[in-house]
Amino acid sequence: MGDEKVKAAREEPDPDSYIQNLVVSDPLQESAFRKAIQILELLPGSRGLDAGCGIGLQALMLAEAVGPGGHVTGLDVSPELLRYAESKIEKSGMAARISFQRGDVSRLPFDDDTFDWVWSANCVGYETIEPLPLVKELARVVRPGGSVAILAWSSQQLLPGYPRLEARLNATCSGIAPFIQGRKPELHFLRALGWYRKAGLENTVARTFVDDVCAPLSEDIRSALISLFSMRWVDVESELTPEDREEYKRLCRPESPDFILDHPDYYAFFIYSMFHGKVTE
């Protein structure tokens, strides 16, 4: 893969479009995130950091988990995402439990031992930045005995009956991003247990969360899947053979009479993986 293709695959859309994609796709990931948060058993009244909080969707779930006496600080580098998050929280009735701050996950603007736990979804370890320093930085702001959890999408099957086409789509620059060619195997997200070990975290655990959908699809789920298609396979047509390109257009375009989401037997699943461990006491 050429550098220009990799660069193009990693370019993010404008903030408004990105926010809209996050909002629309949320129904597909909410259940997995809730299961993961439940597994963490966050203590009532505890204080935590949502690193790379985006538009605040997980901050709300985390605040529910720690209860009225707890507090969640959401941190993100994007002012546009934070503005949306603040507006959402104001309408939720939980503004007293959640606050937001602009900042870089690689240089957290907090003192050592500030939080009881840190959570980071689809951020740490999922970008092309070296992951080990990020994990160490998360651990730095957590008190001894507290927990560090990172979670991200790790797999999916979205085109039932067409495994070869889906494999081809997943092998495009967009499909494998951020796991671009030349990236060391130990930097892949599913190798995060090694990052935790090198960062000195203890009692490390990996967990997998699977969610699925099947026809008939609700409008929310259908819209979420359409958004997921557009985010997973961005501008992929130039990398496909003519035959695969036509099959992709036939199955993955909502305007197509053969759009796969309209099939009466449609079924799909997607997988999130979480790694968590304790800061050494």
- d(CA 154, CA 176) in angstroms, rounded, equals 11
Q: Which of 4, 30, 90, 127 is catalytic?
A: 127
The arrangement of strands across the sheet holding 98-102 comes to 98-102, 71-76, 47-51, 115-121, 142-157, 267-278, 202-214
Does the annotation mark 239 as catalytic?
no
DSSP one-letter code for 118: E
Helix residue ranges per DSSP H, the chain: 3-10, 15-40, 57-66, 79-92, 131-140, 163-170, 173-176, 192-198, 219-232, 242-252
* Tokens (6 digits) for 200: 């000195």
Report which of 74, 131, 142, 78 is spatially closest to residue 106, judged by C-alpha positions. Answer: 131
Q: Are 59 and 53 in contact (CB under 8 A)?
A: yes
* Tokens (6 digits) for 196: 């935790």
Q: Which residues are catalytic?
A: 127
